Chains A and B, each alone.
Chain A
Amino acid sequence: MSVLNLSLSLIFVLIPLILSKTLRLGLEKDTFIATIRSIIQLIAVGFILTFVFESDSYLFIILMVALMIGAATHNAQKKGASIKGIIWKLILTFVFIELLTQGILLGFQITPPTAQYIIPISGMVVGNSMVLSILFLNRFTSEIQTQKKETELLLSLGGTPKQAIHLPLIHSIKASLIPTIESQKTIGLVQLPGMMSGQIIAGADPIQAVQFQLLILFLLLTTAAVTSIMLGFLSYPTLFNERMQMHKIKTDEEN
């Protein structure tokens, strides 16, 4: 793609800007900032990736993945501010999921151990894990509030914290997994996944692009399940003290 062609793609930014101005949606400033940020961020990532690919050093690969995990943790922790030590729980979850997926991919030699494979796949895994964490934490903190009476009832009848929180925990895990499972059911029928489309546009054989996309889809299924379950089981004990009493939960508004 030439620079002229890329510049022409800004027409797609102009259309929402004009619509926003005409209909007085007041989104011009945000659209403009989003456009500038995406240009700067992606160009910077492009240069960084070129440097990392050329350097062929595992240290830079690890640094890139650490950066991704840091950014994902920063984003997701806002939704779980009421859970004690949420930052470390998120870091632990993201590191575990990264080690698990890369361990399987590299261990079984499904993908080669090069930056070209490790970094983009890590980006998809950590990104997906972050979205799942946000979905899970959002649902879990609201379930704890709405099911507080039932949770206390089970405690008062002699239940352990794990038994008392079982239903809110399972509901939250299930609810956070539904979008991933549902989107996989219609994939290819409603929309072509971005990565596969990118490969096809870049000239790859569509069948090979599909094979790679399937690998990523299955990977993301594991990512989703492990993220929600791991984060859930790491989070619930902090809601109780050693006397099996529920801590007061602060809502997002109070935080």
Chain B
Amino acid sequence: MKSTDKAAIELNHVSYSDEDLDIIKDISGFLSEGKITTFVGPSGAGKTTIFRLLNGLISPTKGDIYLFGKNIQTMEPTALRRTVGIALQDATMLRGSVYKNLAMPKTLQNQELEKEEAAHLLTQVGLDASFLHRDVTDLSGGQRQKVSIARTLVNRPKVLLLDEITSSLDRVSTSDIEQLIQHINQKFSVTIAWITHNLEQALHIGDDTWVMMNGELVEAGRKDLLKNPADSRVQEFVKGEWQ
């Protein structure tokens, strides 16, 4: 993250409170366009809340968020959510087939997803086209996550938010997903923000890193900051000594 990097998303003194509880506290910073930024920090640090703010599922109590220079509060919510896609840890599926799930972003716009396009999307995320007519209840955790990512990609988002998408997957599935995300990032120049509790993953996959604690952005910069953090709390966190 250099000052010369172009910002895909910029947060300007953003705070978020829920029922008098301060969840996000005065965060300013930006996500570089076309880069992968990992979000690390202990549970309850506010990482998922930041993603919900970026996707427009909630609005900041204070401050502004800009998407390619435009204040998201002035954007049509549906347009914002199609531009900033989100894939969640539990990969929520809608009842029915894989195709029904993949087609949903188009269905919501009263459009149809061509079967060929759906099959192509599946192969892009590493699944065989024969999965198209499978019921989602027959999918493994890794397969669900891949379908969830493919479904988000149907909207052709410019920013992709990934919330601990590999936390419940085995090593092979995790490696598959990591390669997939790097491929999406490089091929489509999609800006990626990725919450992970795995510091090795953050060092391995990301370009930049945000370290969040207790609702604050404690450190932000190139991923190497995790090897030699300046903040004493981050040092403790990296060593696994943070309480």
Say if the beta carbon of B144 comes within 8 Å of chain A.
no
Q: Is the CB of A158 within 8 A of B92?
A: no
Say if the beta carbon of B57 comes within 8 Å of chain A.
yes
What is the interface of chain B, defined by CB distance below 8 A to chain A?
Answer: 18, 55-59, 73, 77-79, 81-82, 85-86, 88, 90, 92, 94, 104-105, 108-109, 151-152, 155
Residues of A within 8 A of B151 (CB): 157
Contact of A155 among B79, B81, B94, B152 (CB under 8 A): B81
Contact of A156 among B81, B90, B94, B109 (CB under 8 A): B81
What is the interface of chain A, defined by CB distance below 8 A to chain B?
Answer: 149-150, 152-160, 163, 243-246, 248
Q: How far is the CA of A243 from the CA of B76 in the complex (A)?
A: 8
Q: Is the CB of A158 within 8 A of B109?
A: yes
Q: Is the CB of A154 within 8 A of B86?
A: no
Residue contacts A-B, CB under 8 angstroms, 11 given: A152-B57, A153-B92, A155-B57, A157-B108, A157-B152, A158-B82, A158-B105, A243-B59, A243-B77, A245-B56, A246-B57
Known: A154-B104, A156-B57, A160-B78. 14 other contacts (CB 8 A): A150-B94, A153-B88, A153-B92, A155-B57, A156-B55, A156-B86, A157-B105, A157-B151, A158-B108, A163-B108, A244-B56, A244-B77, A245-B58, A245-B59
**Minimum CB–CB distance for B67 against chain A, Å:** 14
**Minimum CB–CB distance for A25 against chain B, Å:** 43
Residues of B within 8 A of A149 (CB): 90, 92
Residue of A with least CB distance to B152: A157
Residue of A with least CB distance to B105: A157
Q: Is the CB of A159 within 8 A of B94?
A: no
Q: How far is the CA of A28 from the CA of B55 in the complex (A)?
A: 58
Residue of B with least CB distance to A153: B92
Q: Is the CB of B155 within 8 A of A150?
A: no
Centre residue among A157, A160, A246 by max chain B CB count within 10 A: A157
Residue of B with least CB distance to A148: B92
Q: Is the CB of A158 within 8 A of B78?
A: yes
Contact of B108 among A150, A152, A154 (CB under 8 A): A154
Contact of A158 among B58, B73, B88, B155 (CB under 8 A): B155
Residues of A within 8 A of B94 (CB): 150, 153-154
Q: How far is the CA of A234 from the CA of B155 in the complex (A)?
A: 31
**Minimum CB–CB distance for B137 against chain A, Å:** 14
Q: How far is the CA of A244 from the CA of B80 in the complex (A)?
A: 11
Residues of A within 8 A of B77 (CB): 243-245
Residue of B with least CB distance to A240: B77
Centre residue among B73, B92, B105 by max chain A CB count within 10 A: B92
Residues of B within 8 A of A155 (CB): 57, 81
Residue of A with least CB distance to B91: A153
Residues of A within 8 A of B18 (CB): 248
Contact of A245 among B57, B86, B90, B152 (CB under 8 A): B57
Contact of B78 among A153, A159, A245, A248 (CB under 8 A): A159
Q: Is the CB of B152 within 8 A of A243?
A: no
Residues of A within 8 A of B55 (CB): 156
Give the 8 A-B residue pairs with the shortest CB-CB distance, closest first: A158-B82, A244-B77, A159-B108, A158-B78, A158-B81, A149-B92, A153-B92, A157-B105
Contact of A157 among B58, B73, B81, B90 (CB under 8 A): B81
Q: How far is the CA of A150 from the CA of B148 in the complex (A)?
A: 13
Q: How far is the CA of A150 from the CA of B100 in the complex (A)?
A: 14
**Minimum CB–CB distance for B70 against chain A, Å:** 15
Residues of A within 8 A of B85 (CB): 156-157
Residues of A within 8 A of B82 (CB): 157-158
**Minimum CB–CB distance for A8 against chain B, Å:** 58
**Minimum CB–CB distance for B52 against chain A, Å:** 9
Residues of B within 8 A of A245 (CB): 56-59, 77
Residues of B within 8 A of A150 (CB): 92, 94
Q: Is the CB of A157 within 8 A of B104?
A: yes
**Minimum CB–CB distance for B90 against chain A, Å:** 7
Residue of B with least CB distance to A159: B108
Residues of A within 8 A of B78 (CB): 158-160, 244
**Minimum CB–CB distance for B172 against chain A, Å:** 26
Residues of B within 8 A of A157 (CB): 81-82, 85, 104-105, 108, 151-152, 155
Q: How far is the CA of A159 from the CA of B81 in the complex (A)?
A: 9
**Minimum CB–CB distance for A239 against chain B, Å:** 14
Q: How far is the CA of A248 from the CA of B58 in the complex (A)?
A: 11
Q: How far is the CA of A243 from the CA of B79 in the complex (A)?
A: 12
